Amino acid sequence: MSGVPPGGLPPNALRSVDIPSLVRIKPGALDRIGLYLSQHGFAHAALFYSEGLPELLVERAESSLRAEGVAVLGRLEVRNNGVEEAQRIFAESPGRVEALIGLGGGKALDVAKYVGFLLQKPFYSLPASLSNDGFSSPQSSLTVGGARRSLPSRMPYGVVVDTDVCLAAPELLWLSGVGDLVAKITAVEDWKLAFHADGTYVDDFAALLSDSTVFQFMARPERDLEGIRLLANALMLNGIAMAVCGSSRPASGGEHLISHALDAHSARPRLHGLQVGTATYLVAHLQDRTDHGAIGRVLEQTGFWDAIARDPFIREEWIEAIRVAPTLKRDFHTVLSGRDRLDQLLAVIDTDPRLAGCFV
């Protein structure tokens, strides 16, 4: 949203919040996508799906669409998420397309979402895993000139999460989603710190919505159908919190800056949520009002730390990322701003028992 200040909309702003018109989070939802489109009067769709996605999932979506008389005018396997590619697809899109469907992981969803934004057509988001909150956010993560950027987009018209499909996805993707979710705790606290530091406007409802989504999952952090439902609900509602305030503040603080720095400087960047979840635990140690113990426990309960230890981070890369992180976004105050926090965070990395084996 152009012209929006770093903390979101000013208190007296008139606003219209873009939220999904359809939300289905349940087993078997993939096989009902045709019904969901037909009920909304859409008869012509384009289907975007992730490279390497099991063909059975694509066939199930197409079968459901055919059964309800929805014609698939375009079927595209998304191999890259460059903005130039998305713009080319936009230019070549059939004029009769009434809705776009993104099926699979981040690249397919982001490209379909962005093309739908350019076409001003409804977008249905069908994640095959829950590795981050991008499936329901009002931005698209695309590469621009070789660098990843979050570009203005719009909230999905429909969010369809088949909990059976997401439960069958690799466990590491679920752990990434857990890491991205707990980041909302430190992000909201950084938002409040920014208010006290420079008057950044805090949207109370967006902050409350973001907080509440996290703690519902943390009360039951299990990898089963109910746990998948809770994680999907939480990540989706956090996307809506961003739409409410017109800012990434409910979801992104200093922990995301560290992850963005790792993306730029690491020889092998890891899944977004794995980086963010670890950075969240570190940043929470700096925030007086954030309980780093609660964050550490839920990451321990889910097996997050064990997964990191099996493929540990490079300590030197994190040192550089922590140094660079505060410089990445102007006018974006976090707990990392103002003074050098490197020594404090290195002390946590080197001495905290939960991080034993997580850095080499």
| Residue 238 forms part of a structural domain | no
| Residue 3 forms part of a structural domain | no
With cut-offs at 50, 70 and 90, classify the pLDDT of residue 2.
very low
Which CATH number does the domain housing residue 190 bear? 1.20.1090.10
Q: Same domain for 183 and 328?
A: yes
| Residue 184 forms part of a structural domain | yes
Q: Same domain for 126 and 159?
A: yes
Q: What is the pLDDT of residue 168?
A: 97
Domains in the chain: how many in total? 2
Q: Same domain for 117 and 184?
A: no
| Stretch 53-75: mean pLDDT | 96
Contacts of 168 (CB under 8 A, 6+ apart): none
| Residue 210 forms part of a structural domain | no
Q: Same domain for 184 and 286?
A: yes
| Residue 211 forms part of a structural domain | no
Q: Same domain for 59 and 121?
A: yes
With cut-offs at 50, 70 and 90, classify the pLDDT of residue 1.
very low
Distance CA 357, CA 310 (A): 8
- Strand (E) positions, 211-341? none
Say if residues 299 and 273 touch (Cβ distance below 8 Å). Answer: no
Q: Which residue has the higher pLDDT, 184 or 330?
A: 184
Q: Same domain for 108 and 198?
A: no
Distance CA 282, CA 225 (A): 30
Distance CA 345, CA 93 (A): 49
Which CATH number does the domain housing residue 54 bear? 3.40.50.1970
Name the nearest CA neighbour of 92 among 119, 71, 68, 69.
119
pLDDT in tens, 148-205: 788 888 899 999 999 999 999 999 999 999 999 999 999 999 999 999 999 999 999 9
Say if residues 124 and 149 touch (Cβ distance below 8 Å). Answer: no
Q: Same domain for 34 and 158?
A: yes
Residue 313, pLDDT above cutoff 50 = yes
| Stretch 217-236: mean pLDDT | 96
Q: What is the pLDDT of residue 318?
A: 98
For 51, the token pair is 């490279």
Tell me which DSSP letter residue 285 carries: T
Q: What is the pLDDT of residue 18?
A: 83
| Residue 284 forms part of a structural domain | yes
pLDDT in tens, 128-155: 999 999 899 888 988 888 777 888 888 9
For 63, the token pair is 């079968």
Distance CA 225, CA 211 (A): 22
Q: Among 108, 139, 166, where does a domain finish?
A: 166
| Residue 233 forms part of a structural domain | no
Residue 311, pLDDT above cutoff 60 = yes
Q: Same domain for 145 and 262?
A: no
- Percent pLDDT > 90 in the chain is 82
Domain that holds residue 344: 171-202+249-355
Contacts of 340 (CB under 8 A, 6+ apart): none
Q: Same domain for 53 and 190?
A: no
